[in-house]
Amino acid sequence: MRDLPPVSQPGEQNQTEDHHEAEGSGTAPNGRLPSLPGTPSLPRPIPVYASGSPTVPQRSIRVRTDAEFHSLQLRRQFASYSSMERPLSPASRPHSPWGRFDPYESAEDQEKEYVGFATLPHQVQRKTVKKGFTFTLMVAGESGLGKSTLINSLFLTDLYKDRKVPNAEERINQTVGILTHTVSIEEKGIKLRLTVIDTPGFGDSINETGSWKPLEDYIDKQFEQYFRDESGLNRRNIQDNRVHCCLYFISPYGHGLRPLDVACMKALHNKVNIVPVVAKADSLTEAEVQRKKMKIREQIEHFGINIYQFPECDSDEDEDLKKQDQLLKDSIPFAVIGSNVQVESDGHKVRGRVYPWGVVEVENPAHSDFLLLRNMLVKTHMQDLKDQTGETHYENFRAQCISNMTRMERS
């Protein structure tokens, strides 16, 4: 039987501990106490009695593997990044995973301290870009105004490859139809599912009474389908087919709006964002275009037609943005020209139309409002058109549905 170590007095124990502390005051380069000869390196120092036997730990010690130790280092590193006691400066903060979208990479931010929530917009952007975007556009107007050509020019695609143009006899008996064309467009990694709703036969019959009814029914049907999906059990993958904008084409001939134009826009103005467009503006002189725009604006106000209203700019917005917004407001209705053919003008290939007196360029601001319309639809106000559809037009439809359901339950 092994002899037990002698029991030392309290004073002697303190002296022994002080003696060992004095001997073990030197530290290894890694910050740990030097290991005893012939013993493996331990992750932390273990106090030793005077006799050289190690103390018995209160609980068993499990030596971590290399993978676990590496994981522990990562957790400690993450904890140091997310510490709220002392925000880290950009010099010691890890680089953002969004690369060029990092809002902290500017030179003036290098000496400042931030929490890091300025990357929230980029987090939303990554999620939205991955999901993709949708936009539904309806075109309405009589045949022969260049609706199909303008749509192809706006989105640089051919949506009407298999379209059959009816002859004069077929147009007499033709009724208003609804044709849906869907195409997926990708630009700089951004995916857009574009749906164009065409209305062949609109305005072509002799009796035009109620010819806008199929358009109104289609818009209500999409609202009703969205309302059912929103009220269902599975709301995760709701497909939005609501009509976000209606380009209403106005004939350049005549003296303004026809009775059919007034009746149709008044039937749809509380259900969809209406953007009036004067088609084939190359058939009018510049003075005639300005007079026609003024006449149409007066008629719209006189008949109480609610067309799409551009949002007001904030007082702190850039002056260039304010000028652009005012230019869009003054350009209503947009006088546009469409063409899918490239012609030569001043040694350059441009999309336009060739006449005996010269070339009309589609994308020339001096010739038409095509660029203004495309920038408004795609570049600057597409999201606002979708917001207005969801927050105004659809909410009105939803409130009416709930009111009807409540009235039926009470009766």
| 357 — pLDDT class (breaks 50, 70, 90) | confident
Instruction: Render pLDDT for 98-148 as a digit per residue (tens, 0 to 9).
Output: 444 566 666 666 667 676 777 787 788 788 788 888 999 999 988 888 888
Strands (E), 25-149: 133-140
Residue 232 vs residue 158, higher pLDDT: 232
Lowest mean pLDDT among 159-168, 385-394, 397-406: 159-168
Q: Would the pLDDT of 315 be above 60?
A: yes
State the pLDDT at residue 390.
93
Q: Would the pLDDT of 92 be above 60?
A: no
Q: Of the segments 117-131, 208-222, 388-402, which one has the largest average pLDDT value?
A: 388-402
Q: How many CB atoms lie within 10 A of CB 89?
A: 14
State the pLDDT at residue 41.
47
Residue 324: is it exposed, middle or buried by C-beta count within 10 angstroms (0-12/13-18/19+)? middle
Q: How many CB atoms lie within 10 A of CB 158?
A: 13
State the pLDDT at residue 59.
47
At position 24, the amino acid (one-letter code) is G
CA angle 182, 341, 203 (to 5 degrees): 55
Lowest mean pLDDT among 26-40, 345-359, 365-379: 26-40
| 219 — pLDDT class (breaks 50, 70, 90) | very high
Which residue pairs, CB below 8 angstroms and at least 24 apart, start in 298-304? 299/256, 299/257, 299/262, 300/257, 300/265, 300/276, 303/257, 303/262, 303/266, 304/266
Which residue pairs, CB below 8 angstroms and at least 24 apart, start in 95-102? 96/122, 98/122, 98/126, 101/125
Residue 404 vs residue 14, higher pLDDT: 404
| 239 — pLDDT class (breaks 50, 70, 90) | confident
State the pLDDT at residue 358.
83
Which parts of 173-276 fold into alpha helices (H)? 213-231, 259-268
State the pLDDT at residue 90.
45
* Residue extents of the structural domains in the chain: 133-158+177-409
What is the third-level CATH fold of 133-158+177-409?
A: Rossmann fold (3.40.50)
State the pLDDT at residue 20.
45
Q: Would the pLDDT of 37 be above 70?
A: no
The residue with tokens 């007034």 is 262
State the pLDDT at residue 335.
92
State the pLDDT at residue 174.
60
State the pLDDT at residue 373.
92
Q: Of the segments 21-30, 64-73, 94-103, 362-371, which one has the largest average pLDDT value?
A: 362-371
Three-state secondary structure call for residue 138:
strand
State the pLDDT at residue 14.
47
Instruction: Render pLDDT for 326-337 as a digit per residue (tens, 0 to 9).
Output: 888 889 999 998
Distance between CA atoms of residues 7 and 373, nearest Å: 96
State the pLDDT at residue 91.
47
Instruction: Render pLDDT for 12-36 as a digit per residue (tens, 0 to 9).
Output: 444 444 444 444 444 444 444 444 4
DSSP conformation letters of 10-42:
HHHHHHHHHHHHHHTT---TTSSPPPPTTSPPP
Token pair listed for 302: 């006189």
For the chain, the 3-state helix, strand and coil shares in percent, each to the nearest 5, are 40, 15, 45
Q: How large is the average pLDDT for residues 77-101?
A: 46
Q: Find out whether 368 and 281 touch, Cβ atoms under 8 Å.
A: yes
pTM above 0.75, yes or no: no
Spatial neighbors of 220 by CB under 8 A, at least 6 apart, are: 271, 397
Which residue pairs, CB below 8 angstroms and at least 24 apart, start in 340-344? 340/149, 340/152, 340/153, 340/158
Distance between CA atoms of residues 98 and 121, nearest Å: 11
| Torsion of the alpha carbons at 301, 137, 349 and 359, rounded to the nearest 10 | -30
State the pLDDT at residue 273.
96
Residue 381: is it exposed, middle or buried by C-beta count within 10 angstroms (0-12/13-18/19+)? buried
Instruction: Render pLDDT for 155-177 as a digit per residue (tens, 0 to 9).
Output: 877 766 666 665 655 555 565 77
Distance between CA atoms of residues 361 and 303, nearest Å: 34
State the pLDDT at residue 33.
45
| 296 — pLDDT class (breaks 50, 70, 90) | very high
Q: Would the pLDDT of 354 be above 60?
A: yes
Residue 165 vs residue 230, higher pLDDT: 230
Token pair listed for 326: 């005012």
